[in-house]
Chains A and B, each alone.
Chain A
Amino acid sequence: MKYLDKTIEEIHNALKTKEIKPIDLVEEAFERIEKNKDLNAYITLNKEEALKKAKSLEEKEVGDNLLFGLPIAVKDNIVTKDLKTTCASHILDNFIPIYNATVVEKLEQNDMIIIGKTNMDEFAMGSSSRTSYFGAPKNPWNKEKISGGSSGGSATTIAARDVLFALGTDTGGSIRQPASYTGIVGMKPTYGRVSRYGLIAFASSLDQIGPMTRNVYENALLLNAIVGHDDKDLTSANKEKEDFTRLINKDISGMKIALPSYFMSDIVTEEIRNEVEKAKKVLEENGATVDIIDMKYLDKAVTLYQIIAMGEASSNLARFDGIRYGFSVENPKNIDDLYLETRKIGFGKEVKRRIMVGSYLLSGENAKIYYNKALSIRDDMKKEFDKVFADYDLIIGPTTTTTAYNLTDPMDDPSKSFMDDVLVIPVNMAGLPGLSLPIGFGKSHMPIGLHIIGNSFEEAKIYQLASFLEKELNLDLDSRKGDNNV
């Protein structure tokens, strides 16, 4: 039985005609996850509850919702009621949430089945998922390589074809960069599109939840299910409901696309620039124009990100104090000792470094020198994007500067994990939507992604371009290389 390799329509029809039941899909997903255990994509599996949920769906009409009865993996920084949620950290390794994140409620309303919680960088801080307290996930294309991060587990389970759907989160590229490294489709929606209620905050002005899938159409379907205004999130946008699949496979002729010169500079390897050039040519041959443009501030994005993300993180992570939930040291001498020891033992190295620097950046006069100035330049950067979108429909570039590197590469350079995301961070700064689409392979057949950036709330246009390229390029994106047997 290999239903999870079929198209979503085929699976849906099989459910509708009662050829299969949701429980068959759940069992198949767990067989695959078991077989791929060494990839370390999951921190917690939800087997018993998933089977129970699948059983309960048998009583329900299948209807027209293509997502009905389908298994989904959820990143472990999104809270799930009664299902352990660790943020890949020792400080939360016993944490059982007492409520569901809004996105989780939406998955429930769509009759999707949560199969487990995926591995990630601790508190989403990192770019290779190697800061996880539970060890790093492995790239299904080559198990010696990273899957990227921080949504590395979600990327891994999609690339390994365990399930069709996963949720990731993206603060500075954490959906798009691992999607690029693993040859899958990952979308960071516009800031405000998806409620952050129940997402354990890292940098509140940057964080956004988004879909990670094997193809563009399924990505848009999952986005349809998770968006919407939420009274519980003050930064949630009140937008009319729309169908994100509506422009898929529509003609792209006449589309105006910008390619910033910085994205094609020598910070990007030649093999990746070549693949982007090829994609550019395909677009031009089909009636789109692609102009190389200059944009200010792109090279400053990492610095802004370091200040804003570390600053906001230091404040957000102050809640982990060993008092209300999570790990707590035994027999502290006094309250200070409780904080200091709990946080020393509970947090990993990367997280501690970022909290310390962030606390310093926000302390006293430093808040003006660093944080306020970063917010001013961030505003200018957004205006720079606005100028480009006055003339262009979309912006493209590579998602990453290299393909996935080795799991054993050194981790002692504290700046490295920020530089891995140099091309994707500007999008978080400006709150824009961005998607990574597989467009080819580098040496040793490691996937390469194209980054497609849209104006605020224009996700549908991104899917239009992405679906067109996906169809034209028609790549074999199955990482299992002939080993298709479950």
Chain B
Amino acid sequence: MEKLTREEVLHVAHLARIKVDEEEIEKYQVELKQLLNDVDKIKEVKGYDDERMIAPWQADTTPREDIAGEMLNPKEVLKNAPKHSGNYIEVPIVISESEGA
């Protein structure tokens, strides 16, 4: 059975910001390889033109009138945040003191 290497799985998991356990790595080595083999079929397609379709409908990008509309209420917005304090959402420390200025 074709497989990705352990390192390849860990690389892809890092790109996706998803932690994978030791016991999951083996399963992903096979499953992700299968999906990557599927998408590799695109390499066989020849004779197309280079024009790309990003979306089926071309958006009208004219700016709208600059009129103030209704806004979400910060209290409402914060209701769903796992941790918040005042008008701020709380997160763990991003830059530690040693890394900081």
Contacts and interface: CB of A to CB of B under 8 A. Distances in A.
A340 B18 contact: yes
A126 interface: no
Interface string B29-66: 00110111011011101001111111111011100100
A313 B43 CA distance: 22
Given A96-B80, A356-B12, A414 B35 contact: yes
B75 to A, nearest CB: 10
A323 B82 contact: yes
Nearest to B83: A328
A140 interface: no
B17 A237 contact: no
A98 B79 contact: yes
A148 B76 CA distance: 36
Contact of B35 (A339, A347, A415): A415
A465 interface: no
A232 to B, nearest CB: 10
A360 interface: yes
A306 B28 contact: no
A347 B18 contact: yes
B92 A326 contact: no
A235 B57 contact: yes
Interface footprint category on B = 35 or more
B15 interface: yes
Given A344-B20, A353-B32, A377 B12 contact: no
Interface in A130-169: none
Given A338-B92, A343-B18, A363-B15, A356 B28 contact: yes
A252 interface: no
Contacts of A328: 82-83
Contacts of A378: 52-53
A375 B53 contact: yes
B34 A415 contact: yes
Given A96-B79, A231-B64, A415-B34, A357 B12 contact: yes
A275 interface: no
- Binding site of B, secondary structure by majority: helix, strand, loop or mixed? loop
Contacts of B56: 190-192, 205, 382, 430-432, 456
Contacts of A372: 52
A405 interface: no
A185 B75 CA distance: 42
Interface in B70-98: 72-73, 76-77, 79-83, 89, 91-94, 96
B49 A353 contact: no
Interface stretch (A44-52, A283-291, A329-337, A477-485): A329-337
Given A341-B19, A376-B49, A418-B38, A431 B55 contact: yes
B1 interface: no
A129 interface: no
Nearest to B76: A98
B13 to A, nearest CB: 6
Contacts of B60: 234, 238
B101 interface: no
A325 interface: yes
A334 B92 contact: yes
B68 interface: no
11 contacts: A96-B80, A98-B73, A98-B80, A99-B72, A191-B57, A304-B42, A323-B89, A344-B20, A360-B12, A379-B49, A415-B34
Interface of A: 95-96, 98-99, 190-192, 204-205, 231, 234-235, 237-238, 300, 302-304, 306-307, 310, 314, 318, 321-326, 328, 332-341, 343-344, 347, 352-353, 355-361, 363, 369-370, 372-380, 382, 413-415, 418, 430-432, 456
Given A338-B91, A379-B51, 13 more contacts: A96-B80, A98-B76, A98-B77, A302-B38, A306-B39, A324-B89, A343-B19, A363-B15, A374-B42, A376-B52, A379-B48, A380-B48, A414-B34
